[in-house]
Amino acid sequence: MLPPQVELPRTQIIERTRHRYEDIHRLLDKHRTINAIARRLNLDRKAVHRFPDTDRHQLLASARERLTNCVLEPLKAYLNARSPEAKG
């Protein structure tokens, strides 16, 4: 039995991952090679190679983790305090 799927926020990195997943699988269905897909989508071959072998939800979860491990995360409170128009 699978755990319930959590609705992920619509952030730029999650949307980009979702679109890449769909594009890569669409091209794989047309029997394109990993190298051809990488050239067409302007991605690294190793990045493209990860998509067919990984579950979509795992890819989106890893994108969410990258988002929370942002370099600016420790500075977020300071930056928000300094910039009145960037609240939140």
Whether the model pTM is above 0.75: no
Q: What is the mean pLDDT of the chain?
A: 76
Collapsed DSSP state (helix, strand, coil) of residue 13: helix
Q: What average pLDDT score do residues 23-37 get? A: 94
- 38-81 pLDDT per residue, tens: 999 999 999 898 888 777 777 766 665 655 555 666 667 777 77
Between 8 and 25, whose confidence is greater?
25
Kindly state the greatest CA–CA separation across the chain: 52
Structure confidence at residue 50 (pLDDT): 85
Q: Strand, helix or coil at 30?
A: coil
Tell me the one-letter amino acid at 28.
L
Q: Environment class of residue 17 by beta-carbon count within 10 Å: exposed (0-12), middle (13-18) or buried (19+)?
A: buried
